């Protein structure tokens, strides 16, 4: 398949395949914790894990890392499955869960205790933190570090049996309290949590920590390349230590790549949860959210997100990508796939004083280059709406639209000339009275007139009122402060227009459109109704941003 992708991970896999090091082929996993919805950063990891497996005829597990019953739940499991499928990827078999392996994990924990490689520590969480040292100072040994294995085993079994309160004891690896790597300073492997788990119910009241769980699950599933983000680089020695110290005949390599970051948004699930819980957004699928559910509702197609991930590539270098680059990919994808139609978002009434007929039907293509999309009908009559900004009685230089006494062409229609500007009591322009040129009909124009501007319009007698939601960045600042999210929010991130759309749009089963000269829009999946249309702006039509400034190709 994509033989063109040549990042360091694919090169490594190619080398492993060529050297015959992968008797079971390429096996990857995507391991989300079901404590929130997936975001565009996760899409990078999904595209990488599922992508390499597809390219090398391998397999990918969707494995839920559900070791913290307090924060996890079925809503998130369902949302994650839906989003991975929506992106267009297929996992091997049924999804797996870290909790599926709780019995094996427990067994390996006992093994470590028996081997003197783990002990039950009875310090409080606070005391453990204090004795761990800092980045510059070594930690100090726990007074329980030399507890006899028998005693630790007994306590660990009683922890499992539910004899102790949360926090009374933990199981810790016996590695090196003074290690230069903080993660190796006798890390906690198990803790007591009297909480009901979304899958195992009340079967367990001790839960394994991520670092202990992840490597063992990888090994049990025969993962050939455990791909994770760079913040786990310092955890790799622990990943290896656990597998080296239990009876496990298989040891996957952990390989790290850089996280995707986007400015003007947040991507930690804790912060996204705060936005939802405090009502700063309408939910996880609010179109301003960087979640896949939000981007889907915003109208992004999965193809665009996959192309974005392909173009940003995979490396160990910092991966803060401009929002404009994502929007460029979205626009690129919609350019050839979205039908065109006309909508007036900020209407100004136009009356054609010399138009006597009942009205007539004009036609236009759904797409200027894609003839297969066919034609649409639109009615034309004496009463029209045009965009307010397409008229000016004080035009800037090079203004090619309508001015008093000037002419423009109405797309797929006629040339009109502005004869009179009507104002309301506040002095605002409230109507234009124009003359149309009967012999200037598009396609059979014999008028000989060549006005410079072409503008869009809708027939006021047929157009359907529509609510159009325009979005700006969720945050005012490139790097929102974790502790003051609310203060950094952009108060103008949602702006609603009340406009009019041509009826063919409302009647079409198609959801995404280019409203000519305005942008790309999608029928809102929750709020839209054919008789009361609600559209979201997906992306504007163009941007000053150029593709060569960013990305790999």
Complete DSSP assignment for 291-355: BHHHHHHHT--HHHHHHHHHHH---SS-EE--HHHHHHHHHHHHHHHSPEE-EESSEEEEEETT-
Rounded to a whole number of angstroms, the minimum distance from the CB of residue 228 to ligand ATP is 5
Cα R_g (the chain), whole angstroms: 31
Residue 42's binding partner among ligand ATP, Mg ion, none (Cβ under 5 to 8 angstroms by kind) is ligand ATP
- Minimum CB separation of residue 314 from ligand ATP in Å reads 9
Q: For 194-288, list the strands marked E by DSSP.
A: 206-208, 226-229, 254-257, 260-261
Residue number of the CB atom closest to ligand ATP: 41
Q: Give exposure, 407-442, as e/b (b: 16+ Cβ within 10 Å).
A: bbbbbbbbbbbbeeeeeeeeeeeeebebbbbeebbb
**Cβ proximity to ligand ATP, 33 vs 488, nearer residue:** 33
The strand pair at 188-192 and 170-173 is best described as antiparallel
Is 144 or 239 the residue whose CB approaches ligand ATP more closely? 239
In the three-class reduction of DSSP (H, G, I as helix; E, B as strand; rest coil), residue 438 is classed as helix
Strands (E), 424-507: 429-436, 454-455, 457-459, 464-471, 494-501
256 binds, among ligand ATP, Mg ion, none (CB under 5 to 8 A by kind): none
**Which positions from 298 to 317 touch Mg ion by CB under 5 A, shown as an x/- string?**
--------------------
Q: Taking CB within 5 to 8 Å according to partner kind, which of Mg ion, ligand ATP, none is near residue 267? A: ligand ATP
Instruction: Report, in Å, the least distance between residue 33 CB and Mg ion.
Output: 5
Q: Which residues are paired to 59 by β-bridges?
A: 27
Other CB atoms within 10 A of residue 274 CB? 15
Q: Is 271 helix (H, G, I), strand (E, B) or coil?
A: helix
Q: Which does 421 bind (CB under 5 to 8 A by kind): Mg ion, ligand ATP, none?
A: none
Residue 409 pairs in a beta bridge with 415, 454
For the record, the structure tokens of 535 come out as: 């559209």
Range in contact with Mg ion (rule: CB under 5 A) among 31-39, 406-414, 454-462, 524-532: 31-39
What part of residues 457-516 is at the interface with Mg ion (CB under 5 A)? none
Choose the one of Mg ion, ligand ATP, none that binds residue 45, judging by a C-beta under 5 to 8 angstroms depending on kind: ligand ATP
Instruction: Give the shortest CB-45-to-ligand ATP separation in angstroms.
Output: 4
Beta carbon of residue 305, minimum distance to ligand ATP (angstroms, whole number): 13
Segment near Mg ion (CB under 5 A); pick from 28-36, 330-338, 462-470, 486-494: 28-36
Which listed option, ligand ATP, Mg ion, none, makes contact with residue 259 (CB within 5 to 8 Å by class)?
A: ligand ATP
Q: Could you list the active site residues?
A: 33, 259, 269
Whether 226 contacts 16, CB under 8 Å: no
Cross-strand partners of 29: 61
The entry of Mg ion, ligand ATP, none near residue 31 (CB within 5 to 8 angstroms by kind) is: ligand ATP
390 binds, among ligand ATP, Mg ion, none (CB under 5 to 8 A by kind): none
DSSP 121-138: E-S-HHHHHHHT--SSS-
Residue number with the smallest Cβ distance to Mg ion: 33
Least distance from C-beta 234 to ligand ATP, angstroms?
A: 14
Tell me how far CA of residue 122 lies from CA of 115, 125, 155, 163, 166, in angstroms: 19, 9, 10, 14, 11
With contacts defined by CB under 5 A, how many residues of the chain interact with Mg ion?
Answer: 1
Q: Closer CB to Mg ion, residue 147 or residue 214? A: 214
* Binding range to Mg ion, per CB under 5 A, among 26-34, 201-209, 223-231, 526-534: 26-34
If the CB atoms of residues 223 and 408 are measured against ligand ATP, the closer one turns out to be 223
The β-bridge partners of 216 are none
The residue (of 71 and 517) whose beta carbon lies closer to Mg ion is: 71
C-alpha pair distances (Å), 336 with each of 64, 364, 374, 454, 520: 37, 17, 14, 22, 12
Contacts of 245 by beta carbon, 8 Å cutoff, 6+ apart: 112, 115, 117
- Please tell me the distance from the alpha carbon of residue 209 to that of residue 36, in angstroms, as a whole number: 18
Applying CB under 5 A, the span of 27-35, 237-245, 275-283, 517-525 interacting with Mg ion comes to: 27-35
Adjacency order of strands within the sheet including 59-64? 27-30, 59-64, 96-97
Smaller CB separation from Mg ion, 30 or 457: 30
Nearer to ligand ATP, 210 or 399 (CB): 210
Smallest distance from ligand ATP to CB 59, Å: 17
Q: Using DSSP bridges, classify how beta strands 360-365 and 375-380 pair: parallel, antiparallel or unpaired.
A: antiparallel
- Interaction partner, residue 229 (ligand ATP, Mg ion, none; CB < 5-8 Å by kind): ligand ATP
Whole-number minimum distance, CB 193 to ligand ATP, in Å? Answer: 18
Q: Which is nearer to ligand ATP, 41 or 167 (CB)?
A: 41
Select 33 or 445, whichever has its Cβ closest to ligand ATP.
Answer: 33
Rounded least distance, CB 256 to Mg ion, Å = 14
Q: Which residues bind ligand ATP (CB under 6 A)?
A: 31-33, 41-42, 44-45, 65, 228-229, 259-260, 267-269
User: Which residues of this protein are in contact with Mg ion, per CB under 5 A?
Assistant: 33
């Amino acid at each position: 398949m994509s033989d063109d992708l040549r990042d360091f991970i694919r090169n490594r896999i190619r080398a492993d395949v060529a050297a015959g090091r992968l008797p079971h082929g390429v096996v990857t996993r995507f391991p989300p914790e079901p404590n929130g919805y997936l975001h565009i950063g996760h899409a990078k990891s999904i595209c990488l894990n599922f992508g390499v497996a597809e390219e090398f005829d391998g397999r990918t597990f969707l494995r839920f890392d559900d070791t913290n019953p307090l924060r996890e739940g079925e809503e998130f499991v369902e949302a994650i499955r839906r989003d991975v499928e929506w992106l267009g990827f297929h996992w091997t078999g049924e999804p797996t869960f870290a909790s599926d392996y709780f019995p094996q994990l427990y067994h390996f924990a006992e093994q470590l205790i028996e081997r003197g490689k783990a002990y039950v520590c009875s310090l409080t969480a606070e005391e453990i933190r204090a004795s761990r040292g800092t980045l510059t100072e070594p930690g100090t040994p726990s007074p329980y570090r030399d507890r006899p294995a028998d005693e630790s085993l007994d306590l660990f079994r009683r922890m499992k049996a539910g004899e102790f309160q949360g926090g009374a004891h933990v199981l810790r690896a016996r590695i090196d309290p003074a290690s230069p790597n903080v993660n190796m300073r006798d890390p906690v492997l198990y803790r007591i949590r009297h909480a009901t788990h979304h899958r195992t119910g009340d079967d367990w009241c001790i839960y394994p920590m991520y670092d202990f769980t992840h490597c063992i699950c990888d090994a049990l599933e025969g993962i050939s390349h455990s791909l994770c983000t760079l913040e786990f680089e310092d955890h790799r020695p622990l990943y290896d230590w656990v597998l080296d110290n239990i009876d496990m005949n298989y040891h996957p390599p952990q390989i790290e790549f850089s996280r995707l970051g986007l400015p003007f948004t947040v991507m930690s699930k804790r912060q996204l949860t705060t936005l939802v819980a405090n009502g700063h957004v309408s939910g996880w699928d609010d179109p301003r959210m960087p979640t896949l559910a939000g981007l889907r509702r915003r109208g992004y197609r999965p193809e665009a997100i996959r192309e974005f991930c392909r173009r940003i590539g995979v490396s160990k270098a910092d991966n803060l990508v401009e929002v404009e680059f994502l929007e460029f990919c979205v626009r690129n994808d919609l350019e050839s796939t979205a039908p065109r139609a006309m909508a007036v978002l900020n209407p100004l009434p136009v009356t054609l004083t010399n138009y006597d007929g009942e009205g007539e039907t004009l036609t236009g293509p759904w797409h200027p280059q894609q003839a297969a999309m066919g034609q649409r009908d639109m009615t034309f009559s004496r009463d029209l709406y045009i965009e307010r900004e397409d008229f000016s009685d004080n035009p800037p230089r090079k203004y090619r639209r309508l001015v008093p006494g000037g002419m423009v062409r109405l797309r797929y229609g006629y040339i009109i000339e502005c004869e009179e500007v009507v104002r309301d009591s506040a002095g605002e322009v409230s109507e234009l009275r124009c003359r149309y040129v009967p012999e200037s009909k598009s396609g059979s124009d014999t008028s000989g007139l060549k006005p410079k501007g072409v503008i869009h319009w809708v027939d006021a007698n047929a157009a359907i009122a529509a609510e159009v939601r325009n979005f700006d960045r969720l945050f005012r600042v490139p790097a929102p402060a974790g502790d003051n999210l609310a203060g950094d929010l952009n108060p103008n991130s949602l702006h609603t227009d009340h406009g009019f759309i041509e009826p063919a749009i409302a009647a079409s089963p198609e959801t995404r459109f280019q409203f000519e000269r305005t942008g790309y829009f999608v029928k809102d999946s929750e709020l839209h109704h054919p008789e009361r249309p609600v559209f979201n702006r997906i992306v504007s039509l163009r941007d000053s941003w150029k593709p060569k400034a960013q990305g790999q190709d």
